[in-house]
Chains A and B, each alone.
Chain A
Amino acid sequence: GAVVSQHPSRVICKSGTSVKIECRSLDFQATTMFWYRQFPKQSLMLMATSNEGSKATYEQGVEKDKFLINHASLTLSTLTVTSAHPEDSSFYICSARDRGTRPLLNTEAFFGQGTRLTVV
């Protein structure tokens, strides 16, 4: 299957600082990438949908000024958590859809390895 690389896998930062998480599709072009947040023992909650070359679409309740998403190329999307606070500590996971796949049918979401963010 397709490979999605997410970096870093773990990060510890001080409260008030910003953290950037990268999501790369290594062997395919991803017009759409998704960013999820997962709290311990809970499901994945979609934060935003990132489309290459356009603004991200944020889910209700997700602050777009706090979680900055950039999808500048077909293989890279970044999520920046700005002015991080301890309550932002979580597992963040990206997924990417292969551009070559027919829309809405037979699509697969390939997940990155996730980033465990701890804000102290």
Chain B
Amino acid sequence: KAGVTQTPRYLIKTRGQQVTLSCSPISGHRSVSWYQQTPGQGLQFLFEYFSETQRNKGNFPGRFSGRQFSNSRSEMNVSTLELGDSALYLCASSQRTSGGTVQYFGPGTRLTVT
């Protein structure tokens, strides 16, 4: 089975611009979560989508948004970029197994805002 894929892998944007990141979960997984990783704040939960509906949301401003499509692929959008948005953005897809729900992370998109 192919793993979680994220595109693009690297991105450089300028303050004030907007960006869209994409995540394709493992086939058959319907839950997709997004996390932001920075050296200062660590790993922080952004939001989770399940069957095209946002199920949970973290404590991020409204500039951060997302959506999920019928094929479970997900996108997140950040508008009016700020320098502090520079981070590694990780997507995870989840599957419930007999041993518990496992979250598999993609390789991430490294966003640099200049």
On whether the two chains bind one another, the answer is no
Interface residues, chain B, with chain A CB atoms under 8 Å away: none
Interface residues, chain A, with chain B CB atoms under 8 Å away: none
